[in-house]
């Protein structure tokens, strides 16, 4: 009955989903964010009207099929923030899944159900999507490994879209070995040199954090530096964070309206106030705003490419631990805004980012991230496992 009490899963009637009897993921169970098609189930997208229009899917999305073909056992579809367009974890229609690492705090979204299912030990891993931080945020909040892969690295066929140039398929796991095993199935080989990693840090990314978060994370960086032979410090001034955030918001707003606007207006979808406001804002975005935002995205990408090259950036995942469930909507929106100063870097540059469940603050998890060059996804996963082992064993 745990599955019901944590509100992680959609209450769909059970339908068996065939998996291979053997494979690299045999013996492992997984859940799927309710944006991906699974044969025998509807795809509800976090909205009752979308669910009513869905019908039962006949085919699995390719990413789900890959997992099944490698022996993983599907156990259910998980809640998502409505239309995947929120980061609180709260769904206006269905409520809030329970954060298994800090039940008094929000799980983060929009892959909240998947993070809840894994953090409450209902399954070994779970699929999510990350457009603006929807895997990385709940992974940090719930004490999990999570990945936003290189954009376009994993198929999103059979998945409800939000913003085409930003959407990615990621996953959560509690265990580093399981996390890596899923990557071995879903990710193609890296396209960059996977020799000994060269690491970098930009102090300004940490100086923007609350003092308590800085004090919590910096000892891990010292340990990483001493183990991997030093960390290169980037001293150049960061690109203007407000311009970068606006570019992110404009592109996401335009593309989300292109993806879902016709359905919203034609069907008269009832949306939660926060999600409705974001879609309404996206509808008003002009062509000139999009053109300017694309220019800013290219400039931000060029800046990070010049500063990092093939180095791996060590960075905060989000500024702080998960807010309490009692936090006001306005404060949640403020936290969402400042979190995007960190989260949008990988989005705009299309780089992969892995968050590692390293730190604890006020009894709640706080992740530390690795962001690598495009095509370095497997290397990031391996390095994340090594850093996690170092933190747990001291070697």
pLDDT given at position 375: 97
Secondary element (H or E) of residue 288 = helix 287-308
Locus of tokens 């140039």: 165
pLDDT of residue 287: 98
Is the Cβ–Cβ distance between 240 and 297 less than 8 Å? no
Question: Residue 248: inside a domain, yes or no?
Answer: no
Residues 234 and 357 in one domain: yes
**What are the distances in angstroms from CA 99 to CA 94, 111, 121, 345?**
15, 12, 11, 26
pLDDT digits (tens, 9 = 90+) for 190-247: 999 867 789 999 999 999 999 999 999 999 999 999 999 999 999 999 999 999 999 9
Q: Is residue 357 one of the residues assigned to a domain?
A: yes
Rounded CA-CA distance 284/256 in Å is 12
Same domain as 354, residue 221: yes
- Residue 54 has which token pair? 């869905």
Q: If 0-12 CB within 10 Å is exposed, 13-18 middle and 19+ buried, where does residue 243 land?
A: middle
Asked if 182 and 203 sit in the same domain, the reply is no
State the CATH number of the domain containing residue 129.
Answer: 3.90.1300.10
Query: Among all residues, which ones are annotated catalytic?
Result: 33, 110, 134
Do 92 and 233 belong to one domain? no
* Residue 106 shares a structural domain with residue 223: no
What is residue 2's predicted lDDT score, i.e. its pLDDT?
A: 66
| Residue 329: domain span | 199-240+288-393
Domain shared by 147 and 53, yes or no? yes
Q: Which helix (H) or strand (E) holds 289?
A: helix 287-308
What was the pLDDT predicted at 3?
66
Is 148 found in the same domain as 221? no
How many distinct structural domains can be found in the chain? 2
**Taking a C-beta distance cutoff of 8 angstroms, is the pair 34, 125 a contact?**
no
Same domain, 233 and 115: no
Looking at the structure, tell me whether residues 214 and 78 fall in a common domain: no
Q: Kindly report the backbone phi and psi dihedral angles of residue 199, in degrees, each rounded to the nearest multiple of 5, phi listed first.
A: -110, 150
Which residues of the chain register pLDDT less than 50?
1
Indicate whether 273 belongs to any domain.
no
Are both 162 and 223 inside the same structural domain? no
184 in Cβ contact with 177 (< 8 Å): no
Instruction: Look at residue 257 and tell me if it is in a domain.
Output: no
Same-domain status, 229 and 376: yes
């Amino acid at each position: 009955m745990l599955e019901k009490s944590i509100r992680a899963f959609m209450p769909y009637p059970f339908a068996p989903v065939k998996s291979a009897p053997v494979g690299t993921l045999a013996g492992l169970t997984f859940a799927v964010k309710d944006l991906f098609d699974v044969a025998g189930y509807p795809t509800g997208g976090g909205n009752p009207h979308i669910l009513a229009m869905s019908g039962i899917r006949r085919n699995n999305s390719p990413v789900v099929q890959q997992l099944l073909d490698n022996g993983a056992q599907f156990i259910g579809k998980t809640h998502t923030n409505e239309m995947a367009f929120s980061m609180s974890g709260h769904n206006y229609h269905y409520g809030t899944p329970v954060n298994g690492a800090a039940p008094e705090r929000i799980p983060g979204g929009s892959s909240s159900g998947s993070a809840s299912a894994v953090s409450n030990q209902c399954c070994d891993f779970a699929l999510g999507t990350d457009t603006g931080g929807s895997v990385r945020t709940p992974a940090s909040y719930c004490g999990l490994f999570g990945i936003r892969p290189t954009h376009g690295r994993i198929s999103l066929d059979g998945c409800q879209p939000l913003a085409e140039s930003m959407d990615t398929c990621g996953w959560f796991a509690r265990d580093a070995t399981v996390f890596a095993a899923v990557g071995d199935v879903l990710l193609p080989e890296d396209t960059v040199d996977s020799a000994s990693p060269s690491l970098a840090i930009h102090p300004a990314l940490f100086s923007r954090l609350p003092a308590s978060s800085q004090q919590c994370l910096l000892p891990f960086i010292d340990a990483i530096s001493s183990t991997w032979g030093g960390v290169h410090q980037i001293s150049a001034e960061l690109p203007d964070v407000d311009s970068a955030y606006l570019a992110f918001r404009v592109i996401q707003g335009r593309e989300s309206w292109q993806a879902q606007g016709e359905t919203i207006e034609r069907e008269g979808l009832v949306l939660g106030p926060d999600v409705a406001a974001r879609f309404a804002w996206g509808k008003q975005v002009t062509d000139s705003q999009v053109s300017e935002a694309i220019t800013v995205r290219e400039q931000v990408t060029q800046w990070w490419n010049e500063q990092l090259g093939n180095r791996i950036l060590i960075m905060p995942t989000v500024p702080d631990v998960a807010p309490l469930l009692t936090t006001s909507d306005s404060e949640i929106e403020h936290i969402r805004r400042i979190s995007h100063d960190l989260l949008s870097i990988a989005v705009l540059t299309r780089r992969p980012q892995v968050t590692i469940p390293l730190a604890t603050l006020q009894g709640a998890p706080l992740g530390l991230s690795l962001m690598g060059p495009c095509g370095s996804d497997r290397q990031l996963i391996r390095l994340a496992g090594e850093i996690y082992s170092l933190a747990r064993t001291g070697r």
